[in-house]
């Protein structure tokens, strides 16, 4: 797997998945596996576009579940061909929806895959609707735990803060390093 900073990778075709992916929990894994399957179907590389630090760590000082080196390792294990890592700071966060869409266009995505309630761009003003105008974009259904509750990085952070390690690890799908 090759790692690039944002705006540095140009491809003739790809399948792209986008997100903070902090923890690479079971929901993230399902989304990335689906994107990988579609990339393999098309015979094109899978690109995961992610952010360092995760936007919620930047804006809300939330605990980081997977440092970037660990995230890269998990993405490699999931079969990504390329990871794009955007350095997330105030300047990056002020970029518009159009700027981001133009950057994605450099990857010539045949498909883009995101999860439920994905937003991007200054003030989180962009959604899957903006992606659909420019690309073929899909929303993966929400992945829940056995009890039917949504799996999220926030939920896992809270479980770790409450020392509920077993449950956190079951949602991560592996032992936690935090």
Ligand X SMILES: Nc1ncnc2c1ncn2[C@@H]1O[C@H](COP(=O)(O)OP(=O)(O)OP(=O)(O)O)[C@@H](O)[C@H]1O
Ligand Y SMILES: Cc1cc2nc3c(=O)[nH]c(=O)nc-3n(C[C@H](O)[C@H](O)[C@H](O)COP(=O)(O)O)c2cc1C
We find the least distance from the C-beta atom of residue 62 to ligand Y, in angstroms, to be 11
Q: Does 53 engage in binding with ligand Y (CB under 6 A)?
A: no
What pairs with residue 50 in β-bridges?
A: 85
Q: Is 138 in the site for ligand Y (CB under 6 A)?
A: no
Residue 156: CB minimum distance to ligand X, A: 8
| Binder among 93, 134, 142, 145 for ligand Y (CB under 6 A) | 93
Q: 56-86 burial by CB neighbour count: b if 16+ within 10 A, else e? A: bbbeeebbbbbebeebbebbeebebbbbbbb
Q: Which residues bind ligand X (CB under 6 A)?
A: 18-22, 27-28, 30-31, 56, 114-116, 118, 140, 142-143, 150-154
- Residue 95 binds ligand Y, judged by CB under 6 A: yes
Residue 95 contact, options ligand Y, ligand X, none, Cβ 5-8 Å cut-off depending on partner type:
ligand Y
Residues 113/31, Cβ–Cβ less than 8 Å: yes
Kindly tell me which of 36 and 56 has the beta carbon lying closer to ligand X.
Answer: 56
- The option from ligand Y, ligand X, none interacting with 81 (CB < 5 to 8 A, set by class) reads none
- Whether 31 and 110 have beta carbons less than 8 Å apart is answered as no
3 binds, among ligand X, ligand Y, none (CB under 5 to 8 A by kind): none
Binding of residue 150 to ligand Y (CB under 6 A): no
Q: What's the Cα-to-Cα distance from 118 to each of 45, 59, 113, 159, 167, rounded to whole Å?
A: 22, 17, 10, 23, 25
Q: Return the one option of ligand X, ligand Y, none that residue 135 interacts with (CB less than 5 to 8 A, by type).
A: none
**Which partner in ligand X, ligand Y, none is near 151 (CB below 5 to 8 A by kind)?**
ligand X
What token pair was written down for 63?
Answer: 């605990």
3-state secondary structure of 4: strand
- Could you tell me which of 87, 93, 85, 90 has the C-alpha nearest to residue 125? 93
Nearer to ligand X, 9 or 143 (CB): 143
């Amino acid at each position: 797997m090759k790692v690039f900073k944002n705006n540095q990778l140009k491809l003739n075709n790809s399948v792209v998945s986008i997100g903070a992916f902090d923890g690479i929990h079971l929901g993230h894994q399902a989304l990335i596996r689906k994107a990988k399957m579609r990339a393999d179907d098309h015979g094109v590389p899978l690109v995961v576009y992610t952010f360092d630090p995760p936007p919620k760590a930047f804006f809300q000082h939330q605990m980081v579940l997977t440092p970037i080196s660990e995230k890269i390792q998990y993405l490699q294990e999931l079969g990504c061909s390329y990871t794009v890592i955007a350095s997330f700071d105030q300047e990056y966060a002020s970029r518009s929806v159009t700027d981001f869409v133009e950057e994605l266009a450099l990857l010539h995505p045949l498909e883009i895959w995101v999860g439920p309630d994905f937003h991007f761009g200054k003030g989180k003003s962009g959604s899957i609707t903006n992606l659909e105008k420019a690309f073929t974009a899909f929303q993966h259904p929400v992945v829940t735990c056995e009890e039917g509750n949504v799996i999220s990085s926030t939920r896992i952070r809270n479980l770790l803060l409450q020392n509920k390690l077993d449950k956190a690890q079951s949602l991560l799908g592996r032992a936690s390093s935090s």
